[in-house]
Amino acid sequence: EVQLVESGGGLVKPGGSLRLSCAASGFAFTNAWMSWVRQAPGKGLEWVGRIKSKTDGGTTDYAAPVKGRFTISRDDSKNTLYLQMNSLKTEDTAVYCCILEGYIRGWFFDYWGQGTLVTVSS
């Protein structure tokens, strides 16, 4: 059974930093492309970024609002995905979910974690 369990959320002041973790199990994490998606309270879904598997280059892509401030990384030896968030802004307040991407003739968000809440407030 695929499981994705996020941790590391909490309250942080504007300008601060936070690192989220996502512990993965039940699938071959090493081969997986993983994404982060966030949802601000009462708002829609927003893709944050993704990381490819190391065999596919391990490269990352980011949404414009977080580029240069957020960094996605992975530790395949620990089956763990990370989201390092720096220079946080109040508009980064959201539930952050990690996602296992799937591919059948096109990419989709196959499995979602339950998310961890990040609140940026003074």
Partner 1 sequence: DIQMTQSPSSLSASVGDRVTITCRASQSISSYLNWYQQKPGKAPKLLIYTASSLQSEVPSRFSGSGSGTDFTLTISSLQPEDFATYHCQQSYSIPYTFGQGTKLEI
User: Which positions lie near partner 1, rule CB under 8 A?
Assistant: 35, 44-47, 50, 61-64, 97, 102, 104-110, 112-115
CB of 33 to partner 1, least distance (A): 11
CB-CB contact of 99 with 83 (8 Å):
no
CB-CB contact of 62 with 70 (8 Å):
yes
Rounded Cα distance between 102 and 33, Å, is 8
CB of 102 to partner 1, least distance (A): 7
**CB neighbours of residue 119 within 10 Å:** 15
Nearer to partner 1, 14 or 59 (CB): 59
CA angle 96, 27, 109 (to 5 degrees): 40
Nearer to partner 1, 56 or 61 (CB): 61
CB of 3 to partner 1, least distance (A): 12
Nearer to partner 1, 13 or 67 (CB): 67
